[in-house]
Structure 1
Amino acid sequence: MLEILALLLPFFGLILIGYGAARITGQQAEALGWMNTFIIYAALPALFFKLVSKTPLHDLTRIDFILADVAATYLVFAAVYLAGRIIRRNPVAESTVQAFGGAYGNIGYMGPGLALLALGERAAVPVALIVCFENAMHFIVAPAMMAFAGGEKRSPGRLAFTILAKVALHPFILSCAAGFVVVALAVPVPAPAEQLVNTLAQAAAPCALFAMGVTLALRPLKRVPAEIYYIVPAKLLLHPAIVYLVLASVGGFDPVWIQSAVLLAALPTAANVFVIGQQYHTWQERASATILISTVVSVGTITLVLYALRSGFLPAELFPQG
């Protein structure tokens, strides 16, 4: 357990430093804009390109892993959505943002750094696949659900085009696609370009975690949602449990792939959930509170998940063949 705490200390320490820096300096939210631009458009894409471009092609085409992981995530999404609709009797738009609060983890900013630190380089491919395909699904589901709720004013054709463009042109998707092309066509990466990619990739985790701490400080706790009692447990406990059960039931995956998926599923609610609420003018302050509370609680739950993974409590297959 001490080894796990030592592993997590620098990770959450960077978030705490970012939080403290924002509180002390009193910077406005706009000051974070260029750092987020650097992270989203340069550092993290470089990291994903590096991970994918050094991976054997057969590992990059594990459609069974992608489908199982996304299906598990959307089982949690559906459960939280139905809880909002049935238990709380919330409208479709609010229930949708709540569902993202329970199923959309901070996989972009927190995922790569923590997984590589805890599980090593073998976690690189599953992390890249999960980040790309889960984000792509979230980009599709959010506007589709809001259109169903009546909050989307664009025509179906224009909405479909916007969704397709957002998915296809997202820096994470483009960088992974570029890495896939390099592997598939055996394209050599020039040494200067590789050095640039490596430099950017090394900056990804510390910058992303620091920026996350700043973001938490700039969104103070104003309105705690009544739904928090089931959204946070769904995100931090139910999500990793469902991901594990689905992947281990399907079987045939490297244990590190399953561990990576479980660890990413255990991450707190993504800041993008607030962005979704802000975009559609629904559940904004409560989404911000969910992000903050889930991040604080995740210090304990991620420690427990890592302990379970490292202690061998979770076999790679629930129903081994033969």
Structure 2
Amino acid sequence: MQAVLGAAFPVFALILAGALAGRFDVLDGPVTGALNRFVISLALPALLFDVTAHAPLSQVLDWGFVAAFGGGILGTLLLMVPTFRRQSLTIAALRGLNATYANVGFMGIPLCAMAFGPASLGPVVIAVIITASVQFAGVVALIEIDRHAGSGAGVARLVASRLARNPLLIAPLAGLLVDGIGLAIPSPIGAFIKLLGQAASPCALVATGLFIAAHRADFRSRTVVSLVTLKLLVQPAVAWLIAAPLLHLAPLPTAIAVLLSALPTGTGPFILAEAYDTDRGPAAATILLTTVLSVLTVSALLAVLSPV
């Protein structure tokens, strides 16, 4: 229990600190936006670059982990197919993202580092790439296809341009390139990157709390309850079924895949809902409820998954 508290308490305490700071106007809306941009554009890319530039390529490219974590996403989406038939492609894409978009970058990195140690960060980088790039780009493509039917080339160019400017994709790929060619990073630059990356986790967690304080929404609907259940219970269960009984992965990648799949919904769905001016309520409510309830669900899961 002490190990679980040691891993979970600092993470949720920082989220609570952010929520209280937002609730009592210690930090206002403009600060929240600036902090989010700092994390996404500078601190988190620096951390991802630092991890991939110093991790063995075989450790980062763990295809069994990719199958388990990615399979948890795909399996959950398949279970949602009957509900998609009654919705437009845009709403279906956003609801699917709400139910499967784990908050890997903001919560997964600090949780895994404290629960499983530095060896867990390679798979976490893969999960960040899957969520921040593959999932995000896929939903953008579906929404643009729905809005611009028949202009396939234009949609492809739009998605490609967004990915090419996404620092959460560029940074780990640059790190892999540096590691692959054996390029030595000068010590002063390496120290700068490491120091900047160390700011990612605390700032990201406080930003999560600020988001919750700023977007308290009406969540009294069956839609949101369904999305919360899929995210916190169904997705990690599917990931475990793939990792353990099906692929027989080692305990560490299995634990990481399940824990990351059980994380609450990240802010990506709300960012897209805001950008496209649609379905904002369910997105904000799902993020709020999954984050609050994950205090219980993730802590319970850590008690099972953390090494003794």
Both proteins in one fold, TM over 0.5: yes
Task: Point out which structure has higher relative CO (alpha carbons under 8 A, 6+ apart).
Answer: 2
- 1:121 maps onto 2:101 in alignment: no
Alignment check: 8 A CA contact 1:78 1:99 kept: no
User: By how many angstroms is 1:291 displaced?
Assistant: 0.8
Alignment check: 8 A CA contact 2:239 2:258 kept: yes
For 2:237, the equivalent position in structure 1 comes to 241
For 1:77, the equivalent position in structure 2 comes to 77
Counterpart of 1:110 in 2: which secondary structure? helix
Selected match of 1:293 from 276, 289, 294: 289
Aligned partners of 2:150, 2:272: CA distance in 1, in Å?
A: 16
User: By how many angstroms is 1:105 displaced?
Assistant: 1.1
For 1:131, the equivalent position in structure 2 comes to 128
For 1:211, the equivalent position in structure 2 comes to 207
User: By how many angstroms is 1:176 displaced?
Assistant: 0.5
User: By how many angstroms is 1:241 displaced?
Assistant: 1.1
- 1:96 maps onto 2:99 in alignment: no
CA shift in 2, pair 1:224/1:114, >3 Å? same
Alignment check: 8 A CA contact 1:84 1:227 kept: no
CA shift in 2, pair 1:212/1:180, >3 Å? same
Alignment check: 8 A CA contact 1:224 1:286 kept: no
User: By how many angstroms is 1:165 displaced?
Assistant: 2.3
For 1:318, the equivalent position in structure 2 comes to none
Q: Which amino acid aligns with 1:39?
A: V
For 2:160, the equivalent position in structure 1 comes to 164
Equivalenced residues, count: 308
Aligned partners of 1:51, 1:109: CA distance in 2, in Å?
A: 15
For 1:315, the equivalent position in structure 2 comes to none
For 1:280, the equivalent position in structure 2 comes to 276
CA shift in 2, pair 1:237/1:279, >3 Å? same
Aligned partners of 1:122, 1:171: CA distance in 2, in Å?
A: 23
User: By how many angstroms is 1:97 displaced?
Assistant: 1.6
Alignment check: 8 A CA contact 2:62 2:123 kept: no
Aligned partners of 1:132, 1:195: CA distance in 2, in Å?
A: 24
User: By how many angstroms is 1:228 displaced?
Assistant: 2.2
Higher helix share: 2
Alignment check: 8 A CA contact 1:139 1:166 kept: no
Aligned partners of 1:83, 1:15: CA distance in 2, in Å?
A: 35
- 1:145 maps onto 2:122 in alignment: no
User: By how many angstroms is 1:103 displaced?
Assistant: 0.5
Counterpart of 1:25 in 2: which secondary structure? coil
User: By how many angstroms is 1:2 displaced?
Assistant: 4.0
Alignment check: 8 A CA contact 1:46 1:197 kept: yes
Aligned partners of 2:136, 2:216: CA distance in 1, in Å?
A: 26
CA shift in 2, pair 1:147/1:35, >3 Å? closer
Aligned partners of 1:108, 1:236: CA distance in 2, in Å?
A: 17
Q: Which amino acid aligns with 2:107?
A: M
User: By how many angstroms is 1:192 displaced?
Assistant: 0.3
For 2:19, the equivalent position in structure 1 comes to 19
Alignment check: 8 A CA contact 1:225 1:290 kept: no
Aligned partners of 2:147, 2:203: CA distance in 1, in Å?
A: 34
Aligned partners of 2:224, 2:307: CA distance in 1, in Å?
A: 30
* Deviates further, 31-40 or 174-183: 31-40
User: What is the TM-score with the length of structure 2 in the denominator?
Assistant: 0.92
Q: What is the root-mean-square deviation of aligned Cα atoms in Å?
A: 2.1
User: By how many angstroms is 1:40 displaced?
Assistant: 0.8
User: By how many angstroms is 1:153 displaced?
Assistant: 6.7
CA shift in 2, pair 1:58/1:7, >3 Å? closer
CA shift in 2, pair 1:152/1:67, >3 Å? farther
User: By how many angstroms is 1:311 displaced?
Assistant: 6.7
Aligned partners of 1:169, 1:117: CA distance in 2, in Å?
A: 31
Aligned partners of 2:126, 2:138: CA distance in 1, in Å?
A: 18
* Deviates further, 212-221 or 152-161: 152-161
Aligned partners of 2:211, 2:267: CA distance in 1, in Å?
A: 8
Alignment check: 8 A CA contact 2:60 2:125 kept: no
Q: Which amino acid aligns with 1:304?
A: A
For 1:190, the equivalent position in structure 2 comes to 186
Aligned partners of 1:252, 1:57: CA distance in 2, in Å?
A: 22
Q: Which amino acid aligns with 1:31?
A: V
Deviations 1:106-131 (A, max 9, x none): 11111111111111011010000111
Alignment check: 8 A CA contact 1:97 1:273 kept: yes
User: By how many angstroms is 1:67 displaced?
Assistant: 3.9
User: By how many angstroms is 1:68 displaced?
Assistant: 4.1
